[in-house]
Chain A
């Protein structure tokens, strides 16, 4: 373990000490307890929390967001390398420890999600790098006795063109490390970028094709035991009694431990633990949801759809819509619960030793208390220690998609390590992972619109019935009236439920959205694009239905209603143009279009789909995106491709159903994912832009389902109003 001493100077340099006494105290407390953390690579030149330059010239960028596939361990180093004028071949990355310096300013916690990583780092990391560059230049200028402004930088070297002198960043690192950090340094103009905007290969890819990349499940610690936990299949159920005798007789099983979530079998390895669990005799009290099944959930949503709910948004005169009017269009849409199904099953490793707790966890949420608790806080509570006594090692994440902000598994690992006195890794079986997720909420939608004689929509009403993700974060200690006004479900509106439905971009004179909260008891969570994942399907399907009712082309219909949204109009046009919208679709297929604005980005998508031999096929997808400045076009395209596959999998296959209060699916045989032979050709186009980067990782996910549904309406004459799409409903 490297020298744990953290000097005040280090803290100053890391920007951890503020001027105010209170801030100082808080930060010193946080830092003083970092002694067991791996300090980011020590280097003679470490001007801030992110940049380390050694005498060998290696630039190590401390990446403070989790790498879950989105390429952040390349994109953030690119921001630094750009303003530093680093030699990209000398750039490395390192995962940040828990530290206030690494809080995500767009999340208010050390957390990765909401398509924020590049957006949040765009200015701070570039500013830090520009200052570091200025220090390197100043170090060289002083050594040479020349004005700093007469020096230039290029690929990790400071040059003085007038005298022909040059020095590498490695040679300057020690001298630069003795200089004060300047208050400011100018940023490059976009026209001067030589790294940002290039499709540089990812820094993490070589390790991901030779087996050396380390995910949470790969963590190895001396003396490690592996546990699986038997949990009540029904949500909200409890352990009644258990008999460990047969489990303990399985070779390799060391302990059987009842914990908060069930009964854990702790063994020498996963297979032994799983066999022990199979031998366990457990009796559950199935709890309050024991009688719940999917039909009951649907019934409940439809029953309360008649309630008024909460007015989320409205404008224009809200005159009644007459259902006997030929120009009134009605539709109901239903979307199911969904699991995340990350390829790496949920897991966590913990070692509680005396008054310290060390955890290794593939987490999106290292620390914080804003929306649920971060890994550090959860581990501290489970260990009975203060958060400062916990060290969090963030491993690579084998997919995340919102699943890995939840930390029950980590809590289990900590409880078990404490109980058995050894490091413990808890691994969810695939069945555990599918049946004990935090699900994308089910939702039921009722829409009604009226068209004027010219076929333009004049009124739009949407009643959205769905459980609330955010209501579990309402503090039980806050008085109700206070929570109502300031809590995460302000005025009874869960933004995570209504986002994407509250402001359709189309010019509609009268609009209203009402939300009926339908809490059911199934655990809920954030699933790639969250509320947009259902609402964009509804809005973009319904606008297509209106186009049909108006007898209009769905692309032109949208176009005319997007007059106030130039960036959306541009992606709509670009997608239509690249897909050659007006041309005949391939035989047997239809073409569908959809758009969305989310996380600051704009996306338009055309899909070609049909039904062949009883199955829905999607052959080609053309996606246009305006996400501001694109830092790395190849990684960005990969995110769009992946986001489309994620949404397409849900559209064609995704459904979590319930019986007896428990999830019926368990593995990839009954919770199926898209496979390679089903993969459409995807073409991605980015609108050139000098705007700051927008969100990217989630923007394409919600538009594919409505585009496919709209394409199928063209191909089959039948409208999809329930996901996943059932091919039999299109051919019957």
Chain B
């Protein structure tokens, strides 16, 4: 039995501590917004925040998340959409949308750390998130928009 604080709610999950957080979120807690893409930390689809920092939940044993604050896409914004989500809508970023939870979580973590990221900082922070539909140009614009900068450099 491990105790997890996810999106501000305490959950007791009867799982092995070694089970990746991703699968606890998805299959035990029913929070399917966090996606499985590769299982080896290469694609970023499973990105969540651990005490505010972006982590690949497929690479994090649920036991190591115990006692720490986990935020998933479902908990990113309390009532109104997060500025990153608003920017994603304004720039019409998603196509298939499967990677976008992870993209949004990576972008939100970047902007929480650096309010006005440079293009190089955006590239670096988002380089771990793959998008097969090719929405990268819109992701760049949306991150800039969420940072309050003109979307077009």
Chain A interface (Cβ within 8 Å of chain B)? 67-71, 201-202, 204-215, 217-218, 220, 226, 251, 268-271, 341-345, 396-401, 427, 429-430, 634-635, 638-639, 641-646, 649, 667-669, 673-677, 679, 681-682
Contact = CB atoms under 8 A, between A and B. Distances in A.
B121 to A, nearest CB: 11
Interface in B16-46: 16, 19-20, 23, 26-28, 30-40, 42-43, 45
B89 A676 contact: no
A345 B22 CA distance: 15
Contacts of B85: 209-210
A646 B140 CA distance: 18
A462 to B, nearest CB: 30
Contacts of A69: 94-97, 133
A202 B89 CA distance: 9
Contacts of A400: 96
A205 B89 contact: yes
B39 to A, nearest CB: 6
Contacts of B26: 218
A343 B98 contact: yes
Nearest to A208: B97
A427 B96 contact: no
Interface string B93-122: 111111111001000000000000000001
Contact of B43 (A226, A638, A668): A668
Contacts of A668: 37-38, 40, 42-43, 130
A404 B114 CA distance: 40
Nearest to B143: A676
With a 10 A CB-CB cut-off, give which of B27, B88, B99, B104 has the most chain A CB atoms.
B27
What bracket does the count of chain B residues touching chain A fall in?
A: 35 or more
Contacts of B51: none
Nearest to A74: B92
Contact of A679 (B16, B27, B140): B140
B39 A676 contact: no
21 contacts: A69-B95, A69-B96, A70-B95, A201-B92, A205-B89, A205-B94, A209-B89, A209-B100, A218-B26, A269-B19, A269-B23, A269-B27, A271-B20, A344-B37, A638-B92, A643-B134, A646-B134, A667-B38, A667-B39, A667-B40, A668-B42
Given A206-B89, A679-B136, A271 B19 contact: yes
B32 A218 contact: yes
A211 B129 contact: no
Contacts of B98: 215, 342-344, 398-399
Given A345-B37, A430-B38, 5 more contacts: A67-B96, A269-B23, A642-B95, A667-B38, A681-B137
B149 interface: no
